Structure 1
Amino acid sequence: MKITFNGTDLSIATVEHLSLALDRIDKQPQFELWISVPNGQSLAMLRNGSHAWLMYLRFNGDSGVVTKGNPDHQGTCAYTISNGQVDEHPLSWCIDLEECYKAIAYFFVNDGARYDHVAWQIA
């Protein structure tokens, strides 16, 4: 499994190491995190402060799905990705930070399976 934090590859072999890494990552208010199965599924998390959302891709080139948060949250939030580009995405995609981390852990221990305890939608 490949894990990339703000463009830097992380070496994580166990769920225990993943938990420790997520604790360190959580201290960063803004980041881009990718976790992927070789030649398979990928999960991305973008965070800016209390706003975070996930994108799940089934394969390289897939348009994927994104999390579906509260549809009443209007507006957008800016996210800086690892190459320095700033993208804006709807606040209605945002879910609780803890749910993002649960989805990442689930993906890790279930070989790229999608976490179904959050709602997903086509972007």
Structure 2
Amino acid sequence: MSMELNLHGEARAIDSIAALEQALQQARALAQCELWLTQATDAEQGPALCMLRNGGNAWLMYLSGQDDLSYHSLGDEEADGACSYLLTNGQVDEYPEAWCIDVEQCQRAFLAFFKTGGAQPAVIAWEAD
């Protein structure tokens, strides 16, 4: 199985857990990043998993691609405030800190997504958008 990984605008094929782990380490070295892992070349065709990260803050978005449903990770629901994220296109967006989860959790979700061929990772609490 092969998936496409796009790290802040640079796409590459991922055909093994080892290749994915290496890419996740590269992403972790960046202060901020937008990271996509997709089964199709177009994320909207899904399934797709996206992580936005700014330092210690990170959250995930899952797109099923079939039923147009999307989900975001759910962290501490009582967390106040928002965190800004730099997108690949240069835009800066803000999202609630309540969506933030640990970067390690995000990485486990990417591994689970790859291993299951694009299923929504069960290692994350999700909320429908």
TM-score normalized with structure 1 length: 0.94
Q: Which residue of 2 aligns with 1:27?
A: 29
Q: Which residue of 1 aligns with 2:12?
A: 10
Which aligned segments of 4 or more residues in structure 1 are displaced greater than 2 angstroms? Answer: 60-63
Identity within the alignment, %: 39
Alignment: residue pair count: 123
In the alignment, the residues of structure 1 paired with residue 46 and residue 91 of structure 2 have an alpha-carbon distance, to the nearest angstrom, of: 25
Q: How does 1:1-123 map to 2 (within 5 A)?
A: 1-38=3-40, 39-59=45-65, 62-123=68-129
> What secondary structure is seen at the aligned counterpart in 2 of 1:56?
strand
Q: Return closer, same or farther for 1:104/1:59 CA change in 2, 3 Å cut-off.
A: same
Q: What letter is aligned with 1:112? A: G
TM-score normalized with structure 2 length: 0.90
Gaps of 5+ in 1: none
Shift of 1:10: 1.9
Gaps of 5+ in 2: none
Q: What letter is aligned with 1:77? A: C
> Contact 2:108/2:123 (CA < 8 Å) preserved in 1?
no
> What RMSD over aligned residues (CA atoms) do the two structures have, in Å?
1.4
Per-residue Cα deviation, 1:46-89 (whole angstroms, up to 9, x for no partner):
00000000000000782400000001210000001000010000
> What secondary structure is seen at the aligned counterpart in 2 of 1:83?
coil
